[in-house]
Amino acid sequence: MIIRKKHELLSHGERDARTAVLDIADAAVSAMNGETATRALVRLDGNELRVGDDTFDLSQFRNVYVIGAGKATYPVAKALEDVLGDRLTDGVIIVKHGESRRLSRIDVIEAGHPLPDQAGVEGVERMLEVANMAGKLDLIFCIITGGASALMPFPVDSVSLKDLITLNEMLLFSGAPIEDINAVRKHVSQIKGGFLAQVLHPAYIVNLIIIDEVAGKPWGPTIPDPTTFSDAKASLVRHGLWDRVPASVRDYIARGMDDPSMETPFPEGDSFIRMYTHVIGDNTMLCDAALTRALSMDLNALVLTSEIEGESSDIGIALASIAREVRARGRPCSPPCVLIAGGETTVTIVDDAHGKGGPNQEVALGAATKLAGTSGIALCAIGTDGTDGPTEIAGGIVDGTTMQRALDEGVDIHAHLGRHDASSALVKMGDAIYTSPTETNVMDLYLVVIV
């Protein structure tokens, strides 16, 4: 089971609806396990290595390497190490601080997330050592999962790590969607936006990617970049950051706009000729897994979208409003049913006077304000990596009794939302969701059960 302390989550409120919504969430997240997905994709039979429909004759290769970064990279690397055995020459992955597990042939380096740190820089330097060893007779697996952008900080020479950390913090607090954030980060990096592929060329590159972006497209430092320096500036302008980011960032982006040679690599480049890309997990697969579980429970089920974006508390209110429509009028589906959605919402923080929380926790509290007084409805919002924002809480679960229970506990939910302090409210009410290691990161899952 992925979700911990279920007895506490089921000790109050709409128990039947809560039981169903947690069951579906558990099954869906479990189905996205990175190690399981990798073992299903990568097979070795003698010298024949199969990766999906791609086949490689290992007798024709001198070395096999593994590199990668992200919060769900460890289970994928473990599967590769187990499958390849002594065929694996060397490797290094960068993971979030707190990942204590280690591998036999692949170095595991812990670094900062969501804000980068010096450990991440040193991890990239070790990764580049491996990358620079790769030649035209070598095969290199590149694993990219959610969080890789923060875990692989390697800024251009004119931007200091301190300025990069400041930039990341401003982007995260701005409420900008991840596409806008990454357009900026790729253009102040020496390896992102396809630059790492240039280092690896002419080796054969096999990308194994767990997608955690609403756009749903393969991404990472070995993937060509469709964005430009002009896009990076536009992102900063759009979110009111252009005049506030460190001058070194602003100056570098301005220079890049005037110098085409500084632009990130485009798809037609030679660096991408010997490249094979496989997606081993994404939010669409997550929603499909939730749908499969719900149908097996004899519930009507409807996937609303796998592309939710927007301010977290507003999304919670919207989902709760749809649930009320189902309860009152039986549309867009009739009870007992499950509404399924996926994506990634954001929290816009305008000053430093904020508490502790995350977007999924704010989705839950926002929904609670709209569900007040309803019966037979439960909503949960959960981060599939097991963490929500800078917390160890994955998300929250609420129902029509939550607002009254909050009042009884002396918790003002509106005030907690106002100061972005969702964690303390959910913890006090026993509605914070904690998980065991999920071994994946495919954005967030939102489930509403109406019984």
Check: CB of residue 269 under 8 Å from CB of residue 224: yes
**Per-residue CA distances from 289 to 283, 299, 360 (Å):** 10, 14, 19
Looking at the predicted structure, is the pLDDT value of residue 1 above 90? Answer: no
Domain boundaries, the chain: 6-31+283-450, 34-154+189-227+264-281
Q: Which helix (H) or strand (E) holds 26?
A: helix 15-30
Q: What is the DSSP string of 257-297?
A: HH-GGGSPPPTTSGGGTTEEEEEEE-HHHHHHHHHHHHHHT
> Residue 371's closest CA among 412, 343, 329, 402?
402
- Give me the mean pLDDT over the 358-378 stretch: 97
Q: Per-residue pLDDT for 269 more than 80?
A: no
Cβ 96 vs Cβ 113: under 8 Å: yes
What CATH number labels 6-31+283-450? Answer: 3.40.1480.10
Mean pLDDT on 42-59 = 97
Same fold for the domain at 6-31+283-450 and the one at 34-154+189-227+264-281? no
Q: Helices 161-173 and 247-258 sit at what angle, rounded to 10 degrees?
A: 90
Residue corresponding to tokens 């009320």:
324
What is the distance between the alpha carbons of residues 432 and 272, in angstroms, rounded to a whole number?
44
Structure confidence by residue, pLDDT tens digits, 139-156: 999 999 999 999 999 999
In this prediction, residues 349-368 reach a mean pLDDT of 90
At 267 the pLDDT is 73
Residue 433 confidence (pLDDT): 98
Question: What would the mean pLDDT of 185-210 be, rounded to a whole number?
Answer: 96
| Cβ atoms within 10 Å of 404's Cβ, excluding its own | 12
User: Which of these, 313, 352, 383, 373, lies nearest to 96 by C-alpha position?
Assistant: 383
At 77, the amino acid letter reads A
pLDDT at 401: 98
Rounded Cα gap, residues 310 and 341, in angstroms: 13
**What does the pLDDT read at residue 353?**
66
- Interatomic CA distance for residues 218 and 278, integer angstroms: 8
CATH architecture of the domain with residue range 34-154+189-227+264-281: 3-Layer(aba) Sandwich (3.40)
Question: Does the pLDDT of residue 270 top 80, yes or no?
Answer: no
